[in-house]
Amino acid sequence: MRNFSDLCRNQTLIMRNNYKKGDSKRVGGGKRIGKSLENKETKSLKKGVASKGRFSKSETEKSKRYSSVEEKKTYSKTKARVIKKTPKKQTYSEDIRLNRFIANAGVCSRREADTYISAGLVSINGKTVTELGTKVKPGDEVRFDGRRLSAEKKVYLLLNKPKDFVTTTDDPHADKTVMDLVRNACEERVYPVGRLDRNTTGLLLFTNDGDLSKKLTHPSHNMKKVYQVTLNKALTKEHLLQIADGLDLEDGRIAADAISFITPENRTEIGIEIHSGRNRIVRRIFEHLGYRVKKLDRVLFAGLTKKNLPRGKWRFLSEKEIHFLKIN
């Protein structure tokens, strides 16, 4: 018993001595008591110093960066500038031939311009010019028949003409003209290409391109025009074939390029393709055979259609459409 008691006493004394000395060795399988406490206090202190150091540095930099009110800069989002592109009139920057200048102004074709020049109807800067091939310089004043001309950009627009509008640029006796429908379309002065009579509806092209207008209206170019016709009675098959073969009218023989019934069930509605530009030619064909045309609608002109173009509305041609008209 004594030996066991002495052993316990000795063990207790050893533990006390180790705790006082701050020894970090594990005693009896326990935790490191002395050094563990010291490490916790040291780490906590170091962490506090480190945090204080970082905070001080941040404050120093901040005060240094903004040492005065004048040095402070405020940043704000700037609004994006909206640049509106306004169409400008096309001008020329080099000498161009006089007949081309006149055609660009929408007066007529180049060939017709040569005729007018030779006739003495054109002047440049107050002097009459009759020599073909004369060139116009930028800034020159060109007059045709006393009216001043300007080299405008080419404009092409397509109208779906409604009924009761007369195809003319100026008619004091007409209540409504097609020019009323396109008056505010552009600044340039445009003219109808060909014509549709008052009661005919459908496609009508406007432009100030004299050369193209001449090309589209001349019979030799065979520009395709398709009409949808509604008659007062059914068209017989014999008359349909007769129109396809050709008829002799008072102003000469005429034949349809193509003709057919729109639907087999309704023979009062006919589709007819023709390239002639003679006055009221489609109506006169059917009237010659004893029919009365109730409705006449041009649904195709020189490859242009009425797709997405309501009656009485107009639109500008696309670059692709303009190119197509010029190459064909």
197 is catalytic: yes
Could you please report the per-residue DSSP string of 225-254? EEEEEEESSPPPHHHHHHHHH-EEETTEEE
- Cβ of 235: how many Cβ atoms within 10 Å? 19
> Which of 6, 145, 180, 197 is labelled catalytic?
197
Could you please report the per-residue DSSP string of 70-121? GG-----PPPPP-----------SS-EEHHHHHHHTTSS-HHHHHHHHHTT-
Distance CA 95, CA 116 (A): 20
Q: Name the token pair of 25.
A: 């060795």
Helix, strand and coil percent figures for the chain, each rounded to 5: 35, 20, 45
- In whole angstroms, how far apart are CA 7 and each of 3, 11, 14, 25? 6, 6, 11, 20
SS3 of residue 158 by DSSP: strand
Q: Helix crossing, 110-118 with 210-217: angle to 10°?
A: 110
Q: Which residues are catalytic?
A: 197
